[in-house]
Structures are given as structure tokens and as C-alpha cells.
Structure 1
Amino acid sequence: MADDLSPMPDDWQRALAVVAHPDDLEYGAAAAIATWTDAGREIVYLLATRGEAGIDGMPPEEAAPVREREQRAGAEVVGVSTVEFLDHRDGVIEYGTALRRDIAAAIRRHRPELVITLNHRDTWFGVAWNTPDHVAVGRATLDAAGDAGNRWIFTDLVDEGLAPWNGVRWVAVAGSERPTHAVEVSAGVDRAVASLAEHRAYITALSDDDPDEYARTFVEQAVSANKARFGDRQSVAFELFGR
């Protein structure tokens, strides 16, 4: 853990961020996304679910549109205008070829050089158990980055006008217990806080804290966690897999 983190690559223009639920990107990664959109880079969000099972006191059919609206609002704060949903079922996402195909299709459609996802391992830093949805989507995203470039996998996508795209150069995993790279984000922290605070219905169900205070506390802690490994700078760390 004492090793310094390397700077994230910056010779790219398009990224696709793939996660399971509304709010997954806002718990830290949004500070990096705000920094990148400031630099003129294009980022698209792809959500496997609408987070419909995430609010205990709200039935899924009511929660889904609320959480979708909150996600679109949170994305807009950090400069992301395109947010897509795959409509897999929240809480019971299944890792497999159907999920890989959906993500590969999005990669072929948006042609990113960088793909971003969330911790795909069993635990958060060996302390808390990760959710099956995060594990399934993270693993499927890592696999789909290769699937997207292979014309002999998911051949029906070609019939839909989605030619193979082998231009993904990296997959960056946020929230990893094994980070390798980081990006300085001090200019994006306030917008990352505001982005997380847009998830007001979700945060209100989680905590008695004011959503703005809750968001400020979480994001400030997240971007300060790796200061000792990245020149005492606020940053978002990623485990970077090259392709």
C-alpha cells in the first residue's frame, strides 16, 4: 500500500462508465468524471438497472422512475448528458452471456477508448461484503471489453448494425482494493458532492443526515483516501487493466 499510484492515462477522448445501479458512480468516481468532462472528454453512463429495489419503503415500480431521474440529474451536474439503462432486475443481476452481450453492444455503439466500472471483487477492501450486482456487472464489463472486438462473439450484433469495436485500451475499476492509478480531482470535488446529493430519495432512505452533508462527508473522505500515494493530492484511484 506504500507504493505511489501512477497518473491515469490522458490520451483518450471517449469513455463509457458501466455500473449496476443509480448512485454507484456518484460514490467517488464522479469527481474524476467531472475533471475529465472539464477537459472536453466525452463520457456516457450505462446502468444495468434502474435501482428499483434500493429503497425499502418504496415499491420497485415507484422507485425506478425516481432513481432514474436522480441519476440523470446527478450525471448532468458532472457534464454527462447521455445516460442509458439496460433494465436488468435490481438485486438479481445474473453474470453471463446476456449481460456481456448488452454491455458489448453498448461498447460497439459508443466506441470508447476507456471503459470505467466498479469493484468486481467479493469484498470492499476485505472488510465489507460486496453485492452480487456489483460483482456481476464489474466482471461482465471486463469481459465485454474483449467481446466487443471479437466478430465471432455475439454475431447478431453485426446484423443490428453494430460492427466490432476493438478500440478499448483500458478498463478502469473504481473502488478497487488494488488501485494502480489515480487522477487529481480537486477541481471536480464540489460537483461530485452535488452529483451524489441529487440522489435525495435514496440518501434519505439510507441516512438521517441531510443529503448535502452526507454527500460532502462521503466524497471528501473518498478523494482523500489515497493522498499519501498520490503526492498529497485529492484524487480518485482506479485499478487499471490495459488491453
Structure 2
Amino acid sequence: MNLIEFPEDWNRALVVVAHPDDVEYPGASPIARWTSQGKEVSYLLASRGEAGLDSMSPEQCMELRMREQIDAASEVGVGDVEFLDHPDGMIEYGLRLRKEIARVIRRKKPDFVLIGNHREMSGNGMLNMADHRAVGQAAIDAVRDAANRWVFRDLDEEPWSGVKYMALLGSPIATHAVDSEDYFNQGVRSLLAHRTYLATLGTTSESAESMLRKFHEAVAPDFNGRLGVALEML
């Protein structure tokens, strides 16, 4: 199936994922492309990544992963990174999560919301994590919640119904793609900003770059031979 060029007639994007590094596998190159066009992009992470490293206490890991996520975002032109306080590895879908995401949507007023994949399978053919599924579904529902003034009536923020596009990052059912050819290296640098995390996992910079290149090249046959990152338009 040929992938369609993802539309870029929007100005503000909110990216909603579960953990630090969820954007960087492999979505940071499109972010670099969009910020280079002058678009505003914000990140919202449901957790602080405290359960990410077996060899490090949650308190230490949290500080490390938040700091490295902020550095990773900076590499692709994003200076607005917000963390919620849901427990890494135990995030639950529910009204609290929907409400918190809806509040940020109302505050940021995006016309595009990019969401971590909520489906059972990941784009790489592996089973998707429970946290990813919970946050993805909550974010999809929160877009509608944010537009309805009679949902979460205790929120001070005014409803926002201006979301024009919604898409999934890392979905197994890709419909569109973003050309990453000129921004691949920025995407690599963004991933490598998780330097201590990657090093602790035994991932070298060479293997991380090779993995990203494999992901981007896999899109090319369905995208006119161009390196790209695939998205599922909802």
C-alpha cells in the first residue's frame, strides 16, 4: 500500500506518549522537520520513566530520564516538555488520565495531536506495552473530551475543538508518512540524547543509528523511495 504524504497545513502540535524515549523510536525526525518550518510542537508524557532501568532506583531513574527527555526534545527544536505523574509500568486508562490530557489540549490549543500507538501490536511487529495502550486510548478520547464543555466541567480551561488532525506514531496500520530524509541525523541525535539510558541498556550509538535507519528505510518502498516515518491517520 502506498503511503500518503502527511498534511502540513497546521501550526501547533501536541505529542502525547507514555514514557521518555517513546517519541524518539522513531518519531523525532518528523518533529525536527516541523519545527524547522516554524511550527510549534509540545510534548506531553504521562509518566516520568522511573521504572525504566532495573539497575537504578526509581528516584534516580526518574530524574535521569526526565533530564534526558528534555535534552532529546531540544535536539529537534522542542522546548516545551510536560510530565504527568502516572506510575511508569502501571498506567491505567481512566477518567483521571483523560482529564489531565484534555486539560493540556485545552491549554495548548493544538490543531494536530500526535499520539503513541494504542493498538495491541506495535509497528515493529511486537506486542505493544500496556502503558502505551492506556495512554494512546486516553489521548484519543481526550481530544473529544477537550471539545465538550459539559465533560470535566470543573476544568478552568475553555473547551478546544480546533484539532484538525489526529495520528498514531508507531502504529502497525500506517496510512501516511513524513519525509525524514533531511532530518534523519537530528532524529538520531535526539535518540542519542538518552545517553545514560541507552548506555545502561548496552545500546551503542552505532547500533541506535543503524536501528533508526532500518526503520526509516522500511518506509521507502511505499513512499516513493524516500526515507520516512509512518503514521496512522485517525
Match of 1:113 in 2: 111
**How does 1:78-97 map onto structure 2 within 5 Å?**
78-97=76-95
Gaps of 5+ in 2: none
Query: Are 2:182 and 1:187 equivalent residues in the alignment?
Result: yes
- Residues 54-86 of structure 1, C-alpha deviations (whole Å, 9 max, x = no match): 011001011001000000000000000000001
Corresponding residue for 1:236? 229
The Cα shift of 1:170 comes to 1.5
Kindly tell me: are residues 127 and 27 of structure 1, through their superposed partners in 2, closer, same or farther at Cα, counting changes over 3 Å?
Answer: closer
Q: CA–CA distance in 1 between the matches of 2:68 and 2:34?
A: 21
Identity of aligned residues (%): 47
Following superposition, the deviation at residue 127 of structure 1 comes to: 3.7
Q: Deviations over 1:15-52 (max 9, x none)?
A: 00000000000111101100111111100000101100
2:20 aligns with 22
Moved over 4 A (4+): none
Give the secondary structure class of the aligned counterpart of 1:156: coil
The aligned runs of 1:139-218 (5 Å cut-off) are: 139-157=137-155, 160=156, 162-207=157-202, 209-210=203-204, 212-218=205-211
Task: Work out the CA distance in 2 between the residues paired with 1:69 and 1:148.
Answer: 29
Determine the structure 1 residue equivalent to 2:37. 39
Q: Distance in 2 between matches of 1:145 and 1:139?
A: 10
Stretches of structure 1 that go unaligned for 5 or more consecutive residues are none
> Structure 1 stretch 62-71 or stretch 220-229: which is displaced more?
220-229
CA-to-aligned-CA distance 1:182-234 (integer Å, 9 cap, x gap): 11011110010000001112212222x42x21321121111111111110001
Is 1:221 the equivalent of 2:214?
Answer: yes
Whether the 8 Å contact between 2:125 and 2:172 is mirrored in structure 1 is: no
Q: Tell me how far apart the structure 2 counterparts of residues 126 and 181 of structure 1 sit (CA, whole Å).
A: 16
Contact 1:224 1:235 survives alignment (8 Å): yes
Task: Give the Cα–Cα distance (whole angstroms) in 1 for the partners of residues 200 and 117 of structure 2.
Answer: 23
Q: Which runs of structure 2 are paired with 1:130-145 in the superposition (5 Å)?
A: 130-145=128-143
The question of whether the paired residues in 1 share the 8 Å contact of 2:109 and 2:162 is answered with yes
Q: Are 1:100 and 2:98 counterparts?
A: yes
Aligned equivalents of 1:40, 1:126: Cα separation in 2: 31
Query: CA RMSD of the aligned region, Å?
Result: 1.1
CA distance in 2, matches of 1:127, 1:174: 14
SS of the residue corresponding to residue 225 of structure 1 reads helix
Task: Provide TM-score, normalisation by structure 1.
Answer: 0.94
SS in 2 for 1:9: coil
Distance in 1 between residues matched to 2:142 and 2:64, nearest whole Å? 29
TM-score (ref. length: structure 2): 0.97
* Partner Cα distance (2:38, 2:123) in 1: 33
Aligned pairs, number: 234
Conserved? CA contact 1:27–1:196, under 8 Å: yes
Query: CA–CA distance in 1 between the matches of 2:87 and 2:186?
Result: 29
